[in-house]
Structure 1
Amino acid sequence: MAGVVERRSIDVVPDAERYGTAFSQFTLWLGANLQITAVVTGALAVVFGVQAFWAILGLLIGNLLGGAVMALHSAQGPRLGLPQMISSRAQFGVRGAAVPLALVIVMYIGFFASGSVLAGQAVGELTHLGETPGIVLFALITAVAAAVGYRVIHALGRIAGLVCAATFVYLGIRLLQRAELTDLLADRTFSFPLFLLAISLAASWQLAFGPYVADYSRYLPRSTSARATFWWTLGGSALGSQWSMTFGALAAAAAGSGFVGNEVGYVVGLGGAGVVVSFLYFVIALGKLTINVLNTYGGFMSVVTGVSGFRGQRQLGPRARACYIAGIMVAGTAVALLGKDSFLTSFKDFLLFLLTAFTPWSAINLVDYYVIAKERYDLPALSDPHGRYGAWRWKALTVYAVGLVAQFPFLATHFYTGPLVDPLGGADISWLVGLAVPAVLYWLVTRRDTGHIPERTILTVPAAAAEQQETAQPAG
């Protein structure tokens, strides 16, 4: 077991501990996306008025656009050997990175909660315990898997990918036995604002992986091709999510009002009865377990990243690791139990809120890594608030704030609609603004501010400096 339980947290993965190939990213992200919450995301487009044909096309565009941004983050993992949000310190400062991290942690708790609602329904039916005990039991299993760490996460991805792919083929056949595909796609009435809603739903789904995607590629050998990592990540994530979302859009079109509020029940009902139904509940729980473990693990990494920026901590002991993971589990479970009765509408607004929060972060991180720094970071300095990146980098924080504010006039959610939404016919283009404005602005204000960028990537602290830091910093 000692060789299975992960020892690393926010520290750099040494080259001697690297293993695997870029194909592992395909299997992980395929399995993570072939699951019930992705089905619900695809169904949302139809539930909120998009015709199935245009919903599927819009979801495809969103998955490809958002997936490309997410895969660019994934390609950073083998190069840096660090969790994703640690690299944000190069843009925001060692302590300033806590600002976007706060929203990232909210995201993880929210996704944990939404996944637990759907999985809890499945676990409750499978065990005959009911929905609330099902949510709690599922949360406990998630926490244990996240505590074991990286190896079990990738193993879950491989298993869920195979099992869920076969199950979705079966469910697709059963769905098309109930409703003719040509009938479901017959209505081609087009509404541009609703079409953009479908794109935004899928794009937000993909972009929300950005803050933790490199967490799961950081153990790959440093020699792993960035291109291979990009394409295998994009391929697995876009294929898995589009497959699930297409099924969800068609299911919602076929079921009409029978889908809302009965998402798990409707999907399982396609399978028939008896043993098949029990197996489908198991598959739903397995698919959600994979992604919820990712969210718990990512939440743990983000909390530690934020706290360690102020404590000067480089490593984390097993007991502290377990406490952080337990905290994420308790918070996510509480939100799940409080929000389980208004899940569908809340989840749509939550997705669009996430899109508002993370597109500026993605834009800043990617422009800095690929354009400004050209993949050259001083890794030890990412833990030193007195080093080359400093404690707070106000240019990036200001650009991030501008990127957030710039989106609000274009944002359309249940609780807030911006003043420029109606002139655009009701279309929500906030995510496009959130990518473009911070990317251009960050490039303008930092393109000549390159004095902190090393000539090459620095992997380790020189021996003399390491001895000084060892005596100055608290133990993990």
Structure 2
Amino acid sequence: MSTLEETRRLGVETTGIEIVEESERTARPADLFWPWFAANVSVFGMSYAGFILYFGISFWQGVLVALVGIVVSFALCGVIAIAGKRGSAPTMVLSRAAFGVTGQKVPGVISWLVSIGWETFLAILAVLATTTVFTRLGWAAGTGTQVVATVLVAALIVAASVAGYHVIMTLQSWLTWITGAVTLVYVVLTVDEISWDAVTAVPSGSSQAVIGALVMVMTGFGLGWINIAADWSRYQSRDASGGAIVGWNTFGGAIAPCLLVVFGLALASSSPELLDGIAADPIGTLSTLLPDWFLVPFLLAAILALVSGAVLGIYSSGLTLLSLGVRIPRPAAAFVDGVILTLGTIYVVFFAEDFLGPFQSFLITLGVPLAAWAGIMIADIASRRRDYDEPALFDARGRYGAADVVSLGTLAAASLVGWGLVVNTFSDAASWNNWQGYLLGPLGLGGRDGAWAFANLGVLAALVIGFVVTFLARRGTILRQESGTVA
């Protein structure tokens, strides 16, 4: 295992999925503010305003959706983060207590795909933003620029991820100040673009549309990070307050997006052109409101913020890869995922014709089983009264067993119900997802063309089913585990 001194000497964290040594568990709950704030202070948060308004709801409905969805989803991340303090291991290792040491590989694969998808998505945004800003400045913005931007963005993400936890935490604290300051200047420079007459003239949408936008926000913000939440709390001291961990995790993750999305709602409601442009190139479109002298600082801050978010994702996806049984050092795992990120970015930037459609479809499809897993984990954490038996997390013959049939069955059932209650609203761009929504007709919700088809009820259903079934059906199992009985 690495120590903090060894990390500073080598520059690379060598600790993988093994238990963090007690001597290294010196972090405080307030330290969680830095990675979560830095990863979510990006101006891309304003782009979610466009996604929200596409549901056909008003500005004030959008404000409600943003505040509730962002805060609640990051609070759920905070609950998962409590497990990191209790077990000093990555999220997907701690999840073995609920699914079994071997059974955990099922949600582990889902988690890995989500992390890979998010980090690739953030890298794509950085490349697209670079090209758009270079065009505004009259610089070379052709294929060569995109290739260089792709290589540089991927290199930054991989380098920080390979370095590991301590380097990332230091990096995030610096990025918080840089990106926060530039974002504040952006708000000052563009506030006069808001037309309150246009904002208040946007008509209200249906309750189904509001719910759909709410689910999209929850999936895009907190639920998109929930599978890695304990990765950043595993260095917390044993006596850290669980409530403080939830609080700082929620505050750090939610404060910037809440402010940025509300401001973005006002901007997008004021300009139909801005609203339409966000779908194709979110950050590049936002840059069109700026004077030329601020484009370079804006671009650098936007890229750094996106890199910050991608670093968290690729670091954790590497840990998840190790938890699936891949026997390579942690830095090598981060590098492997970096290669995948680069290939994915190249495909989307140079070959894909649409951006928003596949992204939305990806979010909802993987969001369903991820929400089911989150419900199971939250109920499992809420039911436990003791720290985890750390050696048993790596022993299929220990108290957590090889596979928990109840948890795996709940994950499967909740996902099947969830997929039946969501619809691929981007059938042209993501035709591979047109199989969903099969329960909307039988349950009297209007079918795939009805009003409820756009509410994305499946994500909420999967979360609730996972929580309720686990809380009721596994209480006895958890009591036996905590009493020391072998599963």
Q: TM-score, with normalisation over the residues of structure 2?
A: 0.86
How much has 1:168 moved relative to structure 2?
Answer: 2.1
**1:248/1:114 Cα in 2 relative to 1: closer, same or farther (>3 Å)?**
farther
Report the residue type matching 2:334 in the other structure: I
| CA offsets 1:258-283 (integer angstroms, 9 cap, x no match) | 33323222222222103x11111100
Match among 313, 319, 344 for residue 295 of structure 1? 313
How much has 1:157 moved relative to structure 2?
Answer: 2.1
Report the residue type matching 1:432 in the other structure: L
Instruction: Check the 8 A contact 1:43/1:251 in 2, yes or no.
Output: no
| CA offsets 1:267-312 (integer angstroms, 9 cap, x no match) | 22222103x111111001100111000010010000001116xxxx
Match among 420, 424, 432 for residue 409 of structure 1? 420
Match among 425, 435, 439 for residue 463 of structure 2? 435
Whole-angstrom distance in 1 between the partners of 2:155 and 2:467: 40
Whole-angstrom distance in 2 between the partners of 1:33 and 1:422: 37
Deviates more, 1:247-256 or 1:94-103: 247-256
| CA offsets 1:355-413 (integer angstroms, 9 cap, x no match) | 21211111111211221x33442110110122222222212111110110111221122
Report the residue type matching 1:76 in the other structure: A
Report the residue type matching 2:247 in the other structure: W
Instruction: Check the 8 A contact 2:374/2:466 in 1, yes or no.
Output: no
Whole-angstrom distance in 2 between the partners of 1:456 and 1:224: 24
Residue of structure 2 in register with 1:23 after alignment: 30
Whole-angstrom distance in 2 between the partners of 1:450 and 1:295: 30
After superposition, where does 1:204-215 map in structure 2 within 5 Å? 204=219, 205-215=221-231
Report the residue type matching 1:197 in the other structure: G
Match among 240, 262, 268 for residue 246 of structure 1? 262
Whole-angstrom distance in 1 between the partners of 2:118 and 2:241: 31
Residue of structure 1 in register with 2:381 after alignment: 369
How much has 1:36 moved relative to structure 2?
Answer: 4.2
Gaps of 5+ in 2: 1-7, 426-432
Matched, 1:322 2:331: yes
**1:237/1:44 Cα in 2 relative to 1: closer, same or farther (>3 Å)?**
same
How much has 1:3 moved relative to structure 2?
Answer: 5.9
Report the residue type matching 2:90 in the other structure: P
| CA offsets 1:445-469 (integer angstroms, 9 cap, x no match) | 2222346413489xxxxxxxxxxxx
**1:404/1:368 Cα in 2 relative to 1: closer, same or farther (>3 Å)?**
same
Match among 324, 330, 336 for residue 306 of structure 1? 324
Instruction: Report the identity percentage.
Output: 23
Whole-angstrom distance in 1 between the partners of 2:97 and 2:21: 20
After superposition, where does 1:13-92 map in structure 2 within 5 Å? 13-92=20-99
Residue of structure 1 in register with 2:184 after alignment: 169
RMSD of the alignment, in Å? 2.3
**1:349/1:27 Cα in 2 relative to 1: closer, same or farther (>3 Å)?**
same
Residue of structure 1 in register with 2:164 after alignment: 149
After superposition, where does 1:143-292 map in structure 2 within 5 Å? 143-204=158-219, 205-253=221-269, 254=271, 255-274=274-293, 276-292=294-310
How much has 1:89 moved relative to structure 2?
Answer: 0.7
After superposition, where does 1:381-400 map in structure 2 within 5 Å? 381-400=392-411
Instruction: Tell me the SS of whatever aligns to 1:249.
Output: helix
Report the residue type matching 1:27 in the other structure: W
Instruction: Tell me the SS of whatever aligns to 2:240.
Output: coil
**1:52/1:334 Cα in 2 relative to 1: closer, same or farther (>3 Å)?**
farther
Whole-angstrom distance in 2 between the partners of 1:399 and 1:61: 27
| CA offsets 1:81-107 (integer angstroms, 9 cap, x no match) | 111110111111111101001111111
Instruction: Check the 8 A contact 1:31/1:287 in 2, yes or no.
Output: yes
How much has 1:198 moved relative to structure 2?
Answer: 1.8
Instruction: Check the 8 A contact 2:74/2:253 in 1, yes or no.
Output: yes
How much has 1:158 moved relative to structure 2?
Answer: 1.7
**1:95/1:297 Cα in 2 relative to 1: closer, same or farther (>3 Å)?**
same
How much has 1:193 moved relative to structure 2?
Answer: 1.9
| CA offsets 1:8-34 (integer angstroms, 9 cap, x no match) | 111111221122321111222111111
Q: TM-score, with normalisation over the residues of structure 1?
A: 0.88
Instruction: Tell me the SS of whatever aligns to 2:175.
Output: helix
Residue of structure 2 in register with 1:355 after alignment: 367
Report the residue type matching 2:309 in the other structure: I
